[in-house]
Amino acid sequence: MSTIEATVKTENGGKYVRQLCKHWSHKLETQVEGDAGTVTFPNAVATMVAGPESLAIAISGEDRADLERLTDVVASHIDRFAFREAPLAYEWTWRE
């Protein structure tokens, strides 16, 4: 299993996690607890945890191409909710 991660500077990470999970809950399995959330895609799982000044995102799955595609999907959706401060800076790194 591979994981690609990014930490994004924002003071509104918890708000974005809740909005994103609610948005995707109509089509995907999601879980939210406080400022942390998980979205289960068909081939991957995205986990997001907000801190006071940042949002940590990890996307895990078997297919690296799927994970790379999901980085764009997740980032574009977060930026949509973060329109007042978007585009946010995402620096994705691989963790094996």
Per-residue confidence in pLDDT tens, the chain, 96 aa:
999 999 999 999 999 999 999 999 999 999 999 999 999 999 999 999 999 999 999 999 999 999 999 999 999 999 999 999 989 999 999 997
Q: What CATH number belongs to 2-83? A: 3.30.310.50
pLDDT for the residue numbered 36: 98
pLDDT for the residue numbered 10: 97
Structure tokens at 28: 């995907």
Closest CA relative to residue 64, chosen from 39, 93, 36, 37: 93
**Is the whole-model pTM more than 0.75?**
yes
pLDDT for the residue numbered 96: 74
Within 10 angstroms of residue 29's Cβ, the number of other Cβ atoms is 12
pLDDT for the residue numbered 11: 96
Three-state DSSP class for residue 26: coil
Q: State the alpha helices, DSSP H only, in 1-96.
A: 13-24, 64-81
CB 83 within 8 A of CB 19: no
What are the sequence ranges of the domains in the chain?
Answer: 2-83
pLDDT for the residue numbered 81: 95
pLDDT for the residue numbered 54: 98
CB 88 within 8 A of CB 8: yes
